[in-house]
A and B are shown apart, each in its own frame.
Chain A
């Protein structure tokens, strides 16, 4: 069960124009930086990207937007990216904005083999348009379908050659649920180790969900909002 590939270029080699990709991360935290750089180099177009945010103008998915590789974004919050807002308001880019919990749970449903979930988020708002509403115990819920993604691309802290993954701190975010949800899941890790080096009790994503893994390099790990306090 060796899932190791040489690097990002090999990991994304068979991504085609028009495919649907999930990209882990929250803001710039826990972002699969190596794969995004490779996607920008590869230059596939008409992609649908499912990711909580759309990066910033010069980093993350923002780089793919700049190259017009993205046909549609499915996200919950895109406020940090001026180019995104411009493409959206001009109609060049198709966007589906979803509540963050809905986004996460639609990934989770895919990974758990469930076709749909019910959530109260968005009831009575434009998010509910065209969606089935069901009443349970006196409260309305929207039916939201599991995502169907060709590839899920995630970033973990450590992983072993069998694809078992461990995340670090809040860089975990969407990565575990997206890792479970791709038809093919690619994991880039900061440290690739041998089977047995990770404690089975501490695995966050079991390797069965992961198809390709490699040790990434040159992580920038940009900070979006550097906030500090002064030592008294």
Chain B
């Protein structure tokens, strides 16, 4: 899929995707943010909202990056970035960290993906023969979280759709993704299968989204533009 300059200007960039996902966060939520676009979501959570970020290496209460010169090598997030701890933070070991994830104490998980299938399967940890980074905490998170949102680009670098009838890469989890936000739109993954288009990115047509989606796309009625 190729894009004209006009479209690049009007569809969502990474910040836009993050900004739209931030609207899914509710007051009182404990949220786990994955590496990449999900990390950016933290920048768009309204200050009036009471939200605690969980970092699976063992921290509740993750704050912003430290000021230059105040980095502490003992205070990092799951992406190994230097961070700060907000007042009221709690530290725990890795077993307890995944204990609270497995026990569904974390209300929302936001993570990236290489592929998502129309029945909610997700693949994001391995390309056989090419890339093996490992699953990190992603398999634990998707197996237990009740509310999983995927933040990703709609197509891969080769221009192929990442919203598929079935994943082609080794799976991270099955029947788990509930919602996807890409640069083109917002989609619910229906329990009976299929990507239901909820919102379009500014200036992007339903036709363009159809062309970029290999899996079953469900379009009902007028699809509003994303309001950020």
Distance from A216 Cβ to chain B, minimum over Cβ atoms (Å): 14
Binding stretch for chain B, among A15-23, A24-32, A61-69? A24-32
A85 lies within 8 A of chain B by Cβ: yes
Give the most central of B64, B67, B93, B174: most A CB within 10 Å.
B93
Q: Is the interface of B mostly helix, strand, loop or mixed?
A: loop
Flag if B134 contacts A122 (CB, 8 Å): no
Chain B residues within an 8 Å CB radius of A126: 170-171
CB within 8 Å of A: which B64-81 residues: 64-68, 70-77, 79-81
Flag if A170 contacts B76 (CB, 8 Å): yes
Flag if B75 contacts A169 (CB, 8 Å): yes
With CB as the reference atom, state the residue of chain A lying closest to B77.
A170
A94 lies within 8 A of chain B by Cβ: no
- Name the contact of A77 in the complex, choosing from B71, B131, B133 (C-beta under 8 A): B133
Chain A residues within an 8 Å CB radius of B139: 99-102, 121-122, 125, 127
Chain B residues within an 8 Å CB radius of A174: 93-94
Chain B residues within an 8 Å CB radius of A231: 67-68
B163 lies within 8 A of chain A by Cβ: no
Give the most central of B56, B101, B135: most A CB within 10 Å.
B135
Chain A residues within an 8 Å CB radius of B81: 225-227
With CB as the reference atom, state the residue of chain B lying closest to A100.
B137
Flag if B74 contacts A169 (CB, 8 Å): yes
Q: Contacts A105-B95, A125-B139 hold; do A77 and B171 have CB atoms under 8 A apart?
A: no
Chain A residues within an 8 Å CB radius of B5: none
With CB as the reference atom, state the residue of chain A lying closest to B70.
A228
Q: Contacts A97-B134, A221-B74 hold; do A172 and B66 have CB atoms under 8 A apart?
A: no
**Per-residue CB proximity of A164-190 to B under 8 Å, as 1/0?**
000111111111110000000000000
B132 lies within 8 A of chain A by Cβ: yes
Flag if A228 contacts B71 (CB, 8 Å): yes
Flag if A76 contacts B137 (CB, 8 Å): yes
B153 lies within 8 A of chain A by Cβ: no
Flag if A170 contacts B102 (CB, 8 Å): no
With CB as the reference atom, state the residue of chain A lying closest to B171.
A125
Q: Contacts A105-B95, A170-B55 hold; do A79 and B102 have CB atoms under 8 A apart?
A: no
Flag if A223 contacts B73 (CB, 8 Å): yes
Distance from B67 Cβ to chain A, minimum over Cβ atoms (Å): 5
Chain A residues within an 8 Å CB radius of B174: 123-125
A120 lies within 8 A of chain B by Cβ: yes
- Name the contact of A171 in the complex, choosing from B64, B74, B138 (C-beta under 8 A): B74
A107 lies within 8 A of chain B by Cβ: yes
Give the most central of B77, B136, B138: most A CB within 10 Å.
B136
- Name the contact of A104 in the complex, choosing from B71, B73, B94 (C-beta under 8 A): B94
Flag if B134 contacts A79 (CB, 8 Å): yes
Give the most central of A105, A174, A227: most B CB within 10 Å.
A227
Give the most central of B77, B80, B137: most A CB within 10 Å.
B80
Flag if A170 contacts B170 (CB, 8 Å): no
- Name the contact of B92 in the complex, choosing from A89, A100, A172 (C-beta under 8 A): A172
Chain B residues within an 8 Å CB radius of A100: 56, 94, 98, 135-137, 139-140
Flag if B65 contacts A228 (CB, 8 Å): yes
Flag if A169 contacts B85 (CB, 8 Å): yes
Distance from A221 Cβ to chain B, minimum over Cβ atoms (Å): 4
The docked-state distance in angstroms from the alpha carbon of A124 to that of B79 is: 26
Flag if B71 contacts A223 (CB, 8 Å): yes
With CB as the reference atom, state the residue of chain B lying closest to A81.
B133
Distance from A143 Cβ to chain B, minimum over Cβ atoms (Å): 14
Flag if B144 contacts A121 (CB, 8 Å): yes
The docked-state distance in angstroms from the alpha carbon of A168 to that of B65 is: 18
The 6 closest A-B pairs by CB, nearest first: A101-B98, A79-B133, A101-B140, A124-B174, A99-B139, A104-B94
A-B residue pairs in contact (CB < 8 Å), sample of 24: A28-B73, A76-B134, A78-B132, A89-B132, A97-B134, A100-B137, A105-B99, A120-B102, A120-B143, A122-B143, A124-B174, A125-B139, A169-B59, A169-B91, A170-B75, A177-B94, A204-B93, A221-B73, A223-B73, A226-B71, A226-B82, A228-B82, A229-B66, A231-B67
Not counting A104-B95, A223-B82, a sample of 9 additional A-B residue pairs whose C-beta atoms are within 8 angstroms of each other reads A29-B73, A101-B94, A105-B99, A121-B102, A126-B171, A223-B76, A225-B76, A227-B81, A228-B71
